[in-house]
A and B are shown apart, each in its own frame.
Chain A
Amino acid sequence: MSAHTLSLRTYLGVFATLAVLTAATTLVAYIDLGFFNVVVALTIAVSKALLVVLFFMHLARARHRTQVVAGAGILWLLILITFTVSDVLTRNWIPQPAGW
């Protein structure tokens, strides 16, 4: 059987990091960084998600095929969000002629 067993130490280490990152993202949210609040929040969220995916879900040691499947999911999510949002963000690029 494919042996994905990691050591207890690894699991606990990942958990500790996740807990610390949760605390960090909550605290940072109270500091005004302007635009970078979103950036930091999302970076931390992505890091946490990666930790869970790679270690708890064993993607780090999974078959190449499984990694491609997971990657495809993320890529398609980004396609959906990017194209949809790009429509909204570029709508006002066409200047409206001023007044009469």
Chain B
Amino acid sequence: MLSDLPLFPARASTIGAGVDHLFFYLVAVALVFSTLIFGLVFYFAIRYRRRSPADKATQITSSVPLEIAWTVIPLCLSAVMFFWGASLFLRHAIAPPGSADIYVVGKQWMWKVQHPEGRREINELHVPVGRPFRLIMTSEDAIHSFFVPAFRLKQDVLPGRFTTLWFQATQVGRYHLFCSQYCGTNHSLMGGWIEVMEPVEYEHWLSRGSTGDPMQVAGAKLFERLGCSNCHQSTNQGRGPSLEGLYGRRVLLEGGGTTIADDAYIEESILKPATKVTRGYQPIMPTFQGQISEEGVFQIIAFLRSLKGERTQVVQ
């Protein structure tokens, strides 16, 4: 019976141990203080119970040293909690260089995942042990939240915006993936599994199954198919600006202001092209809303990232 009673979750990511250690510290503080308060209340309640109607309380109305003590001690203990929690959080805010990007789209009620090598899956995510991955996530409808208890990680996934989450798995195994932000009727079914594999097996898995093109290749094909290259020529002589080396750069906008050409900007420019127009160009680009899926947008983004400023083989 007791063996069926889980008390502590599996741990399988690089940040897991840090979170758990902070958790243990918090548990220790909580235990000490609740024992103290429960103990004192019990002890006082019994020790100073009224034994006869003639009993008189000793009136002690305040003690400044005591008040200072029980203000300062909790303050110090919680300062430790803050700095500890914040340093873990900050260290985890930025993905390490060299992380591979995985694109995740949440929609009612499934997770669609696309690996950089092109393989897609639904409600499952296969990753190798020991390699950092960054998830770039967006939602097609309501807010969702990508939650992997074994990784001690969670991030909300928003419509109209991109959020990121990175992790590095440490333990081979099969772990729960949940949606933890309430998103409608089948919210509790919107989940699946994270399969952490040995790198060799992962390579094997990648090569198996219906592998499509790698992301940037699929993106390049889509770029051609949708006719983007008719206007966006690498020579800057088309009706639209050249997109080479665009990714991550600052763009001057028509009507003042600048923006960074990040994932969100690229998506916006595909779906609502008139919103932010590059300076010196006419707002003549049609919207591609309805002609391209979220995954398609991700592929285009991956393709644009691969155009590192020098001419590559892809646009012909």
Check A-B contact in the complex, CB < 8 A.
Answer: yes
List A contacts of B305 (CB < 8 A). Answer: 99-100
User: CB of B260 within 8 A of chain A?
Assistant: yes
B164 to chain A: closest residue by CB:
A96
Given contacts A92-B260, A94-B94, A95-B94, contact A100 B306 (CB under 8 A): yes
Contacts of A73 in B (CB 8 A): none
Residue B97 lies at the interface, judged by CB distance under 8 Å to chain A? yes
Q: Give Cα distance in the complex from A62 to B95, angstroms.
A: 57
Interface size class of B (residues with CB under 8 A): 10 to 19
**In the complex, what's the smallest C-beta–C-beta distance from A38 to chain B, in angstroms?**
14
Determine whether the beta carbon of B308 is less than 8 Å from that of A99: yes
Q: Is the CB of A97 within 8 A of B99?
A: yes
B162 nearest CB neighbor, chain A only: A96
Closest beta carbon of chain B to A14's beta carbon, Å? 38
A98 / chain B contacts, CB cutoff of 8 Å: 247-248
Q: Which residues of A contact B99 (CB under 8 A)?
A: 97
B62, chain A: closest CB distance, angstroms: 27
Q: How far is the CA of A5 from the CA of B201 in the complex (A)?
A: 87
Contact in complex: A99, B93 (CB < 8 Å): no
User: Chain B interface secondary structure, helix, strand, loop or mixed?
Assistant: loop
Please measure, in the bound complex, the distance between the C-alpha atom of A86 and the C-alpha atom of B93, giving whole angstroms.
Answer: 18
Inter-chain CA distance A94–B94, complex, in Å, is 7
* Residue numbers in A under 8 Å from B97 (CB-CB): 97
Distance of A42 from chain B, by nearest CB (Å): 20
Residues A100 and B94 in contact, CB atoms below 8 Å apart? no
B94 touches A99 (CB 8 A): no
A-B pairs, 5 with minimum CB distance? A98-B248, A99-B305, A94-B93, A97-B95, A97-B97
Beyond contacts A96-B164, A96-B248: 20 other A-B pairs, Cβ-Cβ < 8 A, are A92-B260, A94-B93, A94-B94, A95-B94, A96-B262, A97-B94, A97-B95, A97-B97, A97-B99, A97-B134, A98-B247, A98-B248, A99-B247, A99-B248, A99-B305, A99-B308, A100-B101, A100-B116, A100-B305, A100-B306
Residues of B at under 8 Å CB distance from A?
93-95, 97, 99, 101, 116, 134, 164, 247-248, 260, 262, 305-306, 308
